[in-house]
Amino acid sequence: MSGHETHVVGERRWVDGVLGVVAWLVGALYFFPILWMLVNSFKTELEANGPPSIAFSPTAERYSEVVESSSGVLSFTEAFRNSGLVTVASTIVVLLLAIPAAYALTIYPVKKWRDVLFFFISTKFLPLVASVLPLWILARELNLLNTRLVLVILYTAMNLPLAVWMLRSFFQEVPKELIEAAEIDGASLLGQLRSVILPIALPGIAATALLCLIFAWNEYFFAVQLNAADGQTVPIWVAANVSTRGNFIAKLSAASVLASLPVVIAGWLAQKRMIRGLAMGAIK
């Protein structure tokens, strides 16, 4: 591209340039640890623990080690499967509960709908640490300790308020006349939801689902407190590598890369949808 560059009226060129450089620097600063992790994951332990260098022959051995090893109670693949199951199951339950709730709050709001919304979000005010003891006792009494079910329940509870808030704002973008038209056309509540609202709000629902998936996938605190053994998830497995073994930086990097991969891939795939979803309020 050459020729004329478009500038904001009144903006000075050198300010643009300086701001651009600063932005890139900050961006690089943020990205550096990830790059470091990525590079280390392809090194041998010796190289990874030695002075930092980019002159090395990349090897995928650490990855096969990670996939085959069982550092804690479970193997990495088992932990991976646990994570996937808990994440997907909790997200499905969240959507099943949050969609009708958000729909009701948008279309037929109760009188005190503001209070209801505030109540939802207020459940996130309490420090997690404060709730962990009662939760642990409850889980123990219900024989749910060290099961995947307890995490599905907790992650559902954790993501539900957020999902209701997000979905409500997306549903509000659906023109009211469309719902009225469907109502006059004889569609039942479920029919209106299924054939009018959901198709239109789909990008928003995708964005919500993705955030729930990411939050559930990354969750560490509940998992470590209530489910550190049989039902281990990936974050626990990765952390277990740190605490129980010596200096295995390269292997740990490989495990971390693998742990991040699903989130990165999901984010990549959903990027367009998600941005459209998150920007739904701004552009028509």
Q: Applying CB under 8 A, which residues contact another protein?
A: 175, 177-178, 180-188, 191, 195-196, 199-200
- The helix (run of H) or strand (run of E) holding residue 142 is none
What percent helix, strand, coil does the chain show, rounded to 5? 75, 0, 25
CB of 187 to another protein, least distance (A): 5
First to last CA, the chain: 31
CB of 189 to another protein, least distance (A): 10
Cβ nearer to another protein, comparing 115 with 180: 180
CB 145 within 8 A of CB 230: no
Cβ nearer to another protein, comparing 138 with 187: 187
CB of 65 to another protein, least distance (A): 49
CB 48 within 8 A of CB 250: yes
Cβ nearer to another protein, comparing 99 with 257: 99
Cβ nearer to another protein, comparing 106 with 159: 106
Q: How far apart are CA 223 and CA 47, in angstroms?
A: 33
CB of 31 to another protein, least distance (A): 39
Cβ nearer to another protein, comparing 68 with 185: 185
Give the orientation angle of helix 113-122 with respect to helix 76-107, to 10 degrees: 160
CB of 169 to another protein, least distance (A): 19
Q: How far apart are CA 93 and CA 106, in angstroms?
A: 20
Q: How far apart are CA 44 and CA 248, in angstroms?
A: 9
Angle at 61 between CA 255 and CA 65, to 5 degrees: 50
Return the amino acid letter for 190: L
Cβ nearer to another protein, comparing 16 with 115: 115
Cβ nearer to another protein, comparing 72 with 277: 277
User: Tokens in use for 82?
Assistant: 């646990």
3-state secondary structure of 97: helix
CB of 201 to another protein, least distance (A): 10
Cβ nearer to another protein, comparing 16 with 180: 180
CB of 190 to another protein, least distance (A): 11
User: Tokens in use for 192?
Assistant: 């209106």
CB of 185 to another protein, least distance (A): 4
Residue environment code for 95-118, b if the CB has 16+ CB neighbours within 10 A, otherwise e: bebbbebbbbbbbeeeeeeeeebe
Q: How far apart are CA 134 and CA 222, in angstroms?
A: 12
